[in-house]
């Protein structure tokens, strides 16, 4: 297969969950530009339609629909309708997450539920619903978004980090279970990316600078820089890649400090 064709998504049906903003928006537009027929799913109807309209303005086939992944029945219905309307469901990419930055002793029960319900349970519902369709159809690729926080944490990140670590283990379990049916399941672990989720950090100059300096590339990432990793895992270029996490973190996990000794 020519190298170009390995990354071509022409004719594939791709559901991008969280496609109304941030990383999801960039991935939805990227998948459309790679030839996929994209359905942009988001809890924000206006955001989803705005992104779909932008893709259509470029000549791509892109629809929008409302989906709250905390509702298991709604997730099942959304993917079933896509399969019925489009005749297939080849790719599902799920990006939504929420974070409540508090130390464990300050965490309230409702805040715990908020983070777990979306990050863990919501992504489980996506994984299960997509897996049911794809295993029956004997093929497909599912990509969930984890984080560097699946590996390293800091004060105030314990619950968020726990959900992101759980996503990695869910991906591994699903890869094992779905693999015999030709379905691949992987995760992406972004570093610090400029999105609405990280806006409070960006608005604090000292905090923003500290995070930039922690990465080997001395800067934050952009949503557009998550498109390549996501489309790679979705495409035939990753045909033998499953059950893994691809870190796109600017080298955050590659180093434990930034001090350069004198004379080096």
Catalytic residue among 107, 125, 160, 208: 160
Torsion sign, CA atoms 51, 53, 59, 64: positive
Tokens of 23: 């990383």
R_g of the chain, CA atoms, integer Å:
18
259: tokens are 């001090």
Give Cβ neighbours of residue 221 (< 8 Å, ≥ 6 apart). 190, 191, 192, 193, 194, 215, 248, 249, 250
Known catalytic membership, residue 160: yes
Residues recognised as catalytic: 160
């Amino acid at each position: 297969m020519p190298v170009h064709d390995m990354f071509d998504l022409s004719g594939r049906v791709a559901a991008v969950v969280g496609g109304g903003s941030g990383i999801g928006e960039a991935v939805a537009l990227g998948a459309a530009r790679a030839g996929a027929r994209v359905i942009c799913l988001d809890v924000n109807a206006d955001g989803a339609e705005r992104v779909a309209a932008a893709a259509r303005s470029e000549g791509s086939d892109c629809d929008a629909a409302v989906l709250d992944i905390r509702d298991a029945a709604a997730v099942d219905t959304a993917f079933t309708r896509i399969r019925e309307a489009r005749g297939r469901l080849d790719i599902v990419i799920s990006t939504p997450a929420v974070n409540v930055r508090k130390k464990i002793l300050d965490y309230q029960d409702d805040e715990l539920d908020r983070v777990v319900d979306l990050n863990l349970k919501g992504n489980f519902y996506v994984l299960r619903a997509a897996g049911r369709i794809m295993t029956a159809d004997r093929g497909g690729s599912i990509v969930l978004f984890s984080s560097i926080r699946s590996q390293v944490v800091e004060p105030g990140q314990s619950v968020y980090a726990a959900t992101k670590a759980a996503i990695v283990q869910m991906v591994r379990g699903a890869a094992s279970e779905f693999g015999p049916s030709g379905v691949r399941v992987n995760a992406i672990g972004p570093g610090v990316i400029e999105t609405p989720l990280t806006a409070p950090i960006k608005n604090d100059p000292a905090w923003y600078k500290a995070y930039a300096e922690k990465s080997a590339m001395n800067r934050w990432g952009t949503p557009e820089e998550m498109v390549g990793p996501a489309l790679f895992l979705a495409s035939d270029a990753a045909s033998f890649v499953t059950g893994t996490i691809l870190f796109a973190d600017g080298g955050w996990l590659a180093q434990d400090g930034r001090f350069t000794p004198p004379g080096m």
